[in-house]
Amino acid sequence: MVANILKRKLSLRIKRKRRIRAKINGTTTCPRISIFKSNRTLYVQAIEDINGTTLCASDGRKLGIKANKAGAAVLAKDIAGKLNAKGINEGVFDRNGYLYHGVVAAFAEALRENGIKL
């Protein structure tokens, strides 16, 4: 029964992800900032969808953070610094099918506080 519940949760997240990705697109000046969270860590990357390239990425494992709100703030500060170094001040937030609360919302708020317009 637990396996069926987990499978259902994953399928619902994938449906939300496809719905979101149909509506948003990243450019060179306004990249798509995509977050991925696992049980242990967070990952984020800024993607330019026209050429399909990653402009910059940040990994929670390399920063030594956990997948909590404090870790999301540290990760947002890191990726904001990398984006500002490239001269990018705005982006489109891709929550990757996750609900906008908790860690995902904390990451977005910290990104805004560090000078990235979403």
Residue 91's nearest CA partner among 105, 104, 79, 106 is 79
Domain ranges of the chain: 1-114
Q: pLDDT, tens digit, for every residue of 51-102? A: 999 999 999 999 999 999 999 999 999 999 999 999 999 999 999 999 999 9
**Which residues touch 32 (CB under 8 Å, ≥6 apart)?**
24, 25, 26, 46, 47, 48, 49, 91, 92, 94
**pLDDT score recorded for residue 1:** 80
Question: Closest by alpha carbon to 75, among 20, 34, 32?
Answer: 34
Read off the DSSP letter of residue 116: -
- Contact of 108 with 37, CB cutoff 8 Å: no
Query: What is the architecture, at CATH level 2, of domain 1-114?
Result: 2-Layer Sandwich (3.30)
Residue whose pair of structure tokens reads 């489109």 in the numeric block = 92
This prediction's pTM: 0.91
